[in-house]
Amino acid sequence: EPEVTQTPSHQVTQMGQEVILRCVPISNHLYFYWYRQILGQKVEFLVSFYNNEISEKSEIFDDQFSVERPDGSNFTLKIRSTKLEDSAMYFCASGTGSIGELFFGEGSRLTVL
């Protein structure tokens, strides 16, 4: 069964460092997303991406965040200068249409020290 894969599974970084989280969405999907989940809290939407551009972003997704689809398979989330409060599980998701089932990856845990 096709799945969304994410790397790394866990990254520890120092505050102020740049981090890139990588995702390989399911191959025939056209809509891509990043969500995050701070420990013990609900899953929060960050950004959606379609047709090589951001289609929607939340207030969390400030100028420190960026997304990119550098080739036909990868979808990345970059945090330019990490803060302690960026520590969370980051989930990538993909879907075939503008509505409907989203498939989530297993997540990348980011720990900022």
Partner 1 sequence: GENVGLHLPTLSVQEGDNSIINCAYSNSASDYFIWYKQESGKGPQFIIDIRSNMDKRQGQRVTVLLNKTVKHLSLQIAATQPGDSAVYFCAEEDTGRRALTFGSGTRLQVQP
Residues that bind partner 1 (CB under 8 A): 4, 31, 33, 35, 37, 39-45, 48, 50, 55-56, 58, 89, 91, 93, 98-107
Of the pair 16, 47, the CB lying nearest partner 1 is at 47
For the chain, the three-class secondary structure string (H helix, E strand, C coil) is CCCCEEECCEEEECCCCCEEEEEECCCCCCEEEEEEECCCCCEEEEEEEECCEEEEECCCCCCCEEEECCCCCCEEEEECCCCHHHCEEEEEEEECCCCCCCEECCCEEEEEC
Of the pair 18, 105, the CB lying nearest partner 1 is at 105
Q: How far is the CB of 80 from partner 1 (least distance, A)?
A: 22
